[in-house]
Each structure stands twice: as structure tokens, then as C-alpha cells.
Amino acid sequence: MARTSRRLRLVARLDQVGQATHWAMDLAENQGLGDALRFRIDLVLEEALTNIAKHAYDEGEPGFVEIAWQPGRNDGVILQICDWGHPFDPADFMPAAPAQDLASAQPGGLGIGLIRQFADQIDYARIGDRNRLTLMLKPESESPDAALPRQDATAVPQRRERASPSSASEYPLDALQQAQLLRGVPPDRIADLMHDCRRKTLCSGDYLIAQGQINHQVYIVLSGQLSVALLSDGSRVELALDAGECVGEMSVIDGKPASASVLAKTDAEVLAIPEEVFWSRLVTQPRVARNLMSMMSQRIRRQNAHELEILEQELRYLHLAKEIGVAHDIQMSMLPQPPLLDGHSTVDVDSLIQTAEVVGGDFYDTFSLDEERICLIVGDVSGKGIPAALFMMRVLTLLRTHIKKKRRLEKSLFKVNNLLRQNNPTHMFVTALIVVVDLTSGRATWVNAGHSEPVLLRSSASKANRVKPLRAPKGILLGVQANIEFKAARVSLRKQDTLMLYTDGVTEAENSTQEQFGEERLMDYLGSRPFDSATDLVRGVREQLNLFVNGAQASDDITLLALVFREPKRRRVTRRPKQSP
């Protein structure tokens, strides 16, 4: 069998032990386990296999041993060792007492003590004609004894005996009668049953049942608290079990591997009832059967309630997702659709908007004020999601309404800002850049309300002077403070000049190392070559951003709006009719 397999079958002979330890060390190396844990795995496996080879089978009788390797919690390991020899529970075996002197010392008898010292948890079960020994080993940082100095193997019983299984008949009957499974059962019958059960002590973090393993015992929690942990699709669901509750009965009833792991949430003590006792002497009692049916009914009810709650959450989520989708559609419908400003042949305009979420806070707008003037707007609403989308719609409506009234741009922004201050209980605000272009003269007038500066690309300038950020007094954000005066700035566009507006999501785009794209990188790219059209510019910037972020999750919306001023528009001349003499 290949060493990479997690199962190994060997003949139960001493000369085969080395092969098993080599196999285990290969798996330990593949799992990346530390040297200390690998040493302990090697030691307990060698001692267990040596014990099986020497004592499990009668002399001359052929025997086999099977080993299964399972990665445990937090880089631990679970070893399951099975043989078909004589019954032997290492937890009930008392290691040999230390000799008083070298002359009286007898060889052997220390292997079980070493296993009990270096394995963090031991579980034994006799299944038909098979012995199954389960050893759990944790990394040193999680081992209950990690902080204690290692002792001689012969001293282990004094340290471990308190954690070893003990007779259940010593446990108070009145406490056992309070357990769900045994409630109402006469004390004499409980006492008779308990002679064939064992108490087990668990330290916090110890596994009682591992998910996916076959379980052959029903456990009643005597003290402390257990945690039932179900791992599915990368998620973890936990359920706490307190004193009096039981676990393991489902896997014993259906004979299937455990559907969840059970581990000690605190130091705990449990009563282990073998499945033979459970079937032959417990379930046959009407009161126990009734208790079992009641427990299973309660679990089914709790599960149904839990599933109903999940279903309600899914329905609410679907309803919310539908609402968000509608909000996205409404938001996109508010934005102008290409081709932009199609009725004005003297300009070429294109745009890009990418939302970080389904509903974003960025927006842009383009519209005509009259035959000779057009307006460009780019803005960024605080926040994301539906509230930002609703506020964005309000901003767009107010800007369009007041800018089209043909008053000075500064006055329009003054009015819009005061209106946004009203009925704004969530104190939302918006940055905005508004540009009005006179198509006959090429004069562009803009007002900046806390937004990123526009960029002018001169077509006739040298490469070094081609890109010019239009620095101007940056006004305050819209919707923050009432009665704010805004200042306008102006620049003249020449033939084939390009004007680009954008939001801070462009310069603040981050890659996987949280490095930002930055204004300098943007300006370098814009000055690297001429652009044939507004579409060419927008597409080029988008490609540069995609290369830079390289698939990293977007943290903010990205919006671009580019205008190429092809040539001035000729004024329409209106001729007066000639008057008759």
C-alpha cells in the first residue's frame, strides 16, 4: 500500500512495526506537524503495535492490524488501531509499578504507561471480535499536560489515574435519575445497569466523538458541558449539552458514522453506555423507551423550528435582494444611456461606472442646457446601498432642475446645497463636480463641491505638458452646511482637447497589498500617449485599473466621464427679413 494513503494494513509482527512508524512519519510530514508531536506519534504507535504483536494473538496464530490516520482539530492527529485478537482495554490496565532497584526490575510492562502519558485521549471499544483503540494527540500548545514536565512512564498512573475511566456504580443514583434518558426509572434498575457502564473524565477541548467515525456508545453528561459541533460547507454550527443530557444515541440507533463531533466545552464527566447494554437492557424498559422517544421528538421540534427560522431568513433575504435589484435598476435608469449627448456633433462623450456593491453611491449626468451649452456632472454620495441610491436620485433631480434654470452655476449650487440640508435626518452628503461647456467658444466653467479635480489633456501641447489637473478652489460638500458660497473656475478648450472627470474610486483603487492606484499613476498613464476618442480614453483607464488591482475586491465605486472637444460649434445666424421701401 502506498505510504500516502491514510489507511495501512499489516501483519501483526514485530518486524512490521518499523514500516508502520515510517508510514506515520510520512503522513506527519505531509501534514506539517512539529517535531514534538511527531515524536509522540512515533512513540505511542510503536508501543501500541508492539503490544498487539506480542499479546493480541495466540502463538502461531496469524493476525493482522489496521491503522487509520485522521487529521484532528488544530493540526492534531487521531490514530485508530484495530486488531482481531484478545480483548484488551489499555485504559483498564495498570502499568507495572517501578522497581525498587535494578536487580529486581522486570522487562516490559511500560508501553501502556507511555501511551497513556503521551496520548492526550484514549478510547477503546470491543466491536464484535475486533479491538478498536483510538488515540488522539494534540499539538503541545493544546495538550492538557503541555505545561507539565514529562515524567517517567512509571509515574503516569499517579498523574493520570483521575482521568481514567472508573466504575459508574459509584456515581450517586439520585443524580443519574435526573438524566433525561433515565428519568422515572427505579433506582435499583439504574444501579444494576451502571455496573456495566463506565465514567469518563474529559478535559476542556477533548474529543468524545469525532464527526464521520462509527460510534458504539451512548453518553450521558454527568457534569460540565459538551459541545456538539457540525462542520458543513465550511461553516460551523455548535450546540451546547449540559448535565443530564445525552449524546451518541442517534449514531448507535442507525449504525451510521457520527454526523457531528462532540467535545468537552469545559472539564466534564460522562457516563459511557455500551451499545450492547443500551439495546439489551435500556431500550427494553418502557420508561427508557418513552424518554428516548420524547428526547428525539424534542430534537425534531427544535430542528423544525431552526429550519423554519432559516427558511424565513432566506425568504427575507430573497425579498431584500429583489428590492436591491429594483433599486439598482432605478439607479441605472436615472443615469444617461449611451450614446451621450448624441445630438451635439462637436463633442465626443463616453463614461464608465462600476459599483463596488449592487447599489452604489457614484453617479454621473450629461444634458443640454440649450443649443450651445451642455452640462457634465460627476458625484459621489456618502455611503453605499439603498440609502445612498435614494439620496443620489434626490441630488440628480435637484441639480438638473436648478442648473437648467439658466442662473449662474454658483447660484444653482447654493440653492441645491440648502435644499439637500433640509429633510436629511441621516446627515448624508455628496461631493460633486459640475462643468458647463459653451460649444461655440470652447469655454468650460466648473464648480467643485469637495470632489476630485477635473483633468485637461491638451492635444497640441508637448508630451511633458499634455496633462493638466485643473486646480481650483475646492468648495465644501453638498448637504453639510447651509448658505455656502461656491466659486466657479474657467478654462478654454481648444480643438481636440479632452476633459476627464472621475471619482476618488479611481485613484483609491487598491491591489491585494492595499497599495492605491494613486493620482500620479493616473496622470502618468494619461500623458503616455494620445487618445483617439473618449471611448479610447475610458477603456484605457479601465484596463490600467484592472491590471493594477489584479482581481482584488473593490472597496469603492469607480466612475469616469470623458469629453473630447472636436471643434467649436458655428453660431446660427438669424437674418432679418428685408423691409419694403
Contact of 104 with 7, CB cutoff 8 Å:
no
Q: Report the pLDDT value the prediction gives residue 169, as an integer from 0 to 100.
A: 57
Q: What is the mean pLDDT of the chain?
A: 82
Report yes or no: 139 and 75 within 8 Å, Cβ to Cβ: yes
- Measured CA to CA in angstroms, residue 332 lies from 329, 337, 447 at distances of 5, 9, 25
Q: Residue 363's beta-bridge partner residues?
A: 379
Q: Give the DSSP H/E element, type plus range, for residue 342.
A: none
How far apart are alpha carbons 38 and 26 in whole angstroms?
A: 10
321 vs 454: CA distance, rounded Å: 36
Lowest mean pLDDT across 285-299, 322-336, 389-403, 567-581: 567-581
Domains along the sequence of the chain with CATH: 1-94+110-156 (3.30.565.10), 165-333 (2.60.120.10), 335-565 (3.60.40.10)
Least confident of 37-51, 164-178, 340-354, 505-519: 164-178
CB 21 within 8 A of CB 45: yes
- Per the omega criterion (within 30 degrees of 0), is the bond before 339 cis? yes
User: Model confidence over 63-79: pLDDT tens digits?
Assistant: 899 999 998 877 789 99
* 534-549 helix and 519-526 helix, angle to the nearest 10 degrees: 140
What residue type is assigned to position 416 of the chain?
Answer: V
Confidence of residue 3 (pLDDT cuts 50, 70, 90): very low
pLDDT of residue 575: 57
Name which residue leads in pLDDT, 135 or 108.
135
Q: CA 75, 80, 86 angle in degrees (round to 5)?
A: 155
pLDDT of residue 158: 32
This model's pTM is above 0.75: no
CA nearest neighbour of 362 among 304, 297, 301, 433 = 433
Dist CA 186 CA 289 (whole Å): 14
Confidence of residue 99 (pLDDT cuts 50, 70, 90): very low
Is 395's pLDDT higher than 70?
yes
Whether residue 152 has pLDDT greater than 80: no
The answer to whether 492 touches 565, Cβ cutoff 8 Å, is no
Name the grid cell of 219. 453518553
In this structure, what DSSP letter does residue 510 have? B
DSSP states along 19-72: HHHHHHHHHHHHHT--HHHHHHHHHHHHHHHHHHHHHTS-TT---EEEEEEEE-
* DSSP state, residue 572: P
Q: How far apart are CA 534 and CA 246, in angstroms?
A: 71
- Rounded to whole angstroms, how far apart are CA atoms 65 and 7? 11
> Considering Cα of 397, then 403, then 409, then 414, what sign does the dihedral take?
negative
Asked whether the predicted pLDDT for residue 299 surpasses 60, the reply is: yes
Residue with cell 428590492: 323
State mean pLDDT over 22-36: 87
Q: What is the pLDDT of residue 87?
A: 86
- The answer to whether the CB of 13 falls within 8 A of the CB of 74 is no
User: How do residues 217-249 score in pLDDT, each as one tens digit?
Assistant: 999 999 999 998 876 555 566 788 899 898 988
Q: Summarize the confidence of residues 269-294 as an average pLDDT.
A: 87
Grouping H, G, I as helix, E, B as strand and the rest as coil, residue 365 is strand
